[in-house]
Amino acid sequence: MAVLRSLLPQLGLFLCLALCFSPALSASYNDPCMVFDTISTTDNLGVNVTVEGSGGNITYTVRIPVNSSVSVVILKTMNQNNKSVGSWVGATQECNDSSVLYHVTPSDSSDFQATMTVTDSEDITKVNLYVFIAIGNGTAVMTSINLEELRAMTTANTTAMTTANTTAKTTAMTTAKTTATSLAVNALGSPLAGALHILLVFLISKLLF
């Protein structure tokens, strides 16, 4: 009995600590940003990212194919120094590791879409976008995309399209002018034009003489 009485204070302290920390443990367990038990890396998620410039800002639109088994998408953009880059629009929750979480409602008519804005003061050199798709039971699939390479490719494509359009317009205008000139020359060189020219000379000579 004496031993049991001596243990009562310790038992009371342990019970108090357990009651104090149990809400925190429960919240951590229910935290949708919790670390996944299993993460599979793949390049076949079908993620599509488009880049648009507006003023000094750059907007990245991320489109991800989802189905009824996907309820959560986590997105993260980090530079080579493991610092977060950009601001995500409309995220459900911001996580402690600088990632953002979106609750997904899959639809047959559209994919999941999220938008991130990077200001001109932020350096996107060696910035990677990480896409995590939760598929249930603590499992997720992940893919990464280099935003610097993506922006370079977009710039190159835009330049190529602009050059192609300019070349096409120049070629079309040159062809039109050449065609018009050729038609005028052909008209003047036709038999009818020659006959009209002779008739005009004849009439002028009659009037003069």
Name the band, by pLDDT with cuts 50, 70 and 90, for residue 209: low
Name the band, by pLDDT with cuts 50, 70 and 90, for residue 203: confident
In this prediction, residues 109-126 reach a mean pLDDT of: 86
- Find residue 59's DSSP bridge partners: 52, 117
Report which of 109, 104, 134 is spatially closest to residue 39, judged by C-alpha positions. 134
Place of tokens 């005028």: 184
For residue 71, with 0-12 CB atoms within 10 Å meaning exposed, 13-18 middle and 19 or more buried, which class applies?
middle
pLDDT(113) > 60: yes
- The CA distance from 127 to 78, in Å, is 5
Name the band, by pLDDT with cuts 50, 70 and 90, for residue 122: confident
Q: What is the mean pLDDT of the chain?
A: 73
pLDDT for 186 equals 56
More confident residue, 169 or 163: 169
pTM score over 0.85: no
